[in-house]
Chain A
Amino acid sequence: MTTTIPLSITVDGEQRDLAVDPRTTLLDALRDRLGVTTPKKGCDHGQCGACTVLLDGRRVLSCLTLAVAKDGADVVTANGLGEQHPVSEAFLANDAFQCGFCTPGQVCSAVGALDEARRGMPSAATADLTGPVELDRAEIAERMSGNLCRCAAYVNIVTAVEEAATR
């Protein structure tokens, strides 16, 4: 018998208090305990990116995060970003999805990736590690490689992120 541990996290701007078994992932806490079903459970092993959320401003995989280790954290899901967010709008405008299952993770990942690029963080596609980051399509594809789309909407996803980068 495992005892539960209390924690408090902010989810999409709202403070939420709960008590969890230590085994509970952040993804399961959000979906099954708090009813926040925006992040999706794809592979549950950190291989697909469908569960991506912004944790204290950084994109992470909620399926590989233990909820108990994130007491006090600020979690933003795609729902918290909203349909008016420039990245969400760019996904809609460019048809950057088909079934939509991976989209909440794609949108959160894109928001995180654009922030990383703005802060000058390099990627494996950055030709000069000490130079500025220029977000061409190869850079965007590399930075978004942690988000799989089994409908293969990749071409339009790259276009959407490219457009959002200019807003």
Chain B
Amino acid sequence: MKPFTYARPDDAPAAVAALTADPDARFLAGGTNLLDHLKLGVVEPSQLVDVNRVTSTEITELDDGGLRIGAGVANSDLAADERVRRDHPAVAAAVLAGASGQLRNMASTGGNLLQRTRCPYFADATTPCTKRDLSQACSAREGWARYHAILGASEHCIATHPSDLAVALVAVDAQVQVLGRDGARTVPVRDFHRLPGDDPTRDTVLEHGDLVTAVDLPAPTPAVRNSTYRKVRDRASYAFALVSVAAGLEVRDGVVADVRLALGGVAHKPWHATTAEAALRGQPATDDAFRAAIAAELEAAEAVESPLGGNAFKIPLVTGTVVSTLRALSGGTA
């Protein structure tokens, strides 16, 4: 591991200033992803700026009925919060679907959003990867692409975003509070992560030195109160998603009054299924309508055909997972 220095600033503005002054510095929060990457040589920072004592570990109620989750709130505490469990079940379920008990005790809310892809070529500094180095080619496209994107990929990168929490936050329309060199701003989580385009090195819209200080959950709507998270993976626990679905549904007189739908494991960012949502509103809450809506969303899907195993299976897997999740939320059998 390349040597680095360690700093523990007293407040958030000082942490932002420390990063702003050093282009090779990184924030340290829970460290669960960063420590791994330091050991692998995926990142080689000059300095770690510890933000554990400058970000809030509290969940507080907002005037509009929403909740403000401090960026330092541990994943396990977020999932255990009674208000989150009651009013935002998809958020609690998504957190619990990720990682292990130990990791959820360590990982922070802010860091969860900022974790990097688990593409094996990104994590292996001996293989070419455009996300690590723009001058290199993508190894996944002709390689092991089982976990890779079917939506919104580019010729340079087919990586997926690994966060479960972020998928649920997209469904409930959470807002990310950011402190940067020019002050504080709010970024909707739906605009927070990027598609790879021609610069897959950037996962999010954040600039160097931007610090996530909190994540706000809006006041829950009936569809958000009736929400859940379903994750499909290669083993029953402690594995990343092949595909996942965060969904919320409000049905009135058999008709879809409101629906929230986001997909994980399918794209470089948590995928807000806006086409499917629009197709479903006002439609009868039936399997046929659910199936037609996700089919419309997946018209843009493009599977990776790779000699080491592609990911064409994800298209029917997403379809089945969405239909059964919405069916369960509408009162049917999952």
Contacts and interface: CB of A to CB of B under 8 A. Distances in A.
Interface string B100-113: 11110110000000
A46 B99 CA distance: 10
A26 B258 CA distance: 48
Contacts of B99: 146
A146 B238 contact: yes
A109 B28 contact: no
A137 B76 CA distance: 21
Nearest to B2: A23
A66 B106 CA distance: 12
Given A25-B35, A122-B85, A122-B92, A113 B101 contact: yes
Contacts of B92: 122, 129
A64 B31 contact: yes
A59 B3 contact: no
Interface residues of B, number: 38
B89 A129 contact: yes
Contact of B100 (A3, A21, A25, A49): A49
User: How many of chain A's residues touch chain B, expressed as a range?
Assistant: 35 or more
Interface of B: 1, 3-6, 8, 28, 31-32, 35-36, 38-40, 48, 50, 52, 76, 79-80, 82, 85-86, 89, 92-93, 96-97, 99-103, 105-106, 236-238
Nearest 6 Cβ contacts at the A-B interface: A146-B100, A145-B237, A22-B6, A121-B80, A2-B3, A145-B238
20 contacts: A23-B4, A45-B40, A46-B32, A46-B35, A52-B102, A61-B103, A66-B6, A66-B28, A66-B35, A69-B50, A109-B102, A113-B101, A116-B76, A116-B80, A119-B80, A123-B96, A124-B237, A130-B85, A146-B99, A146-B238
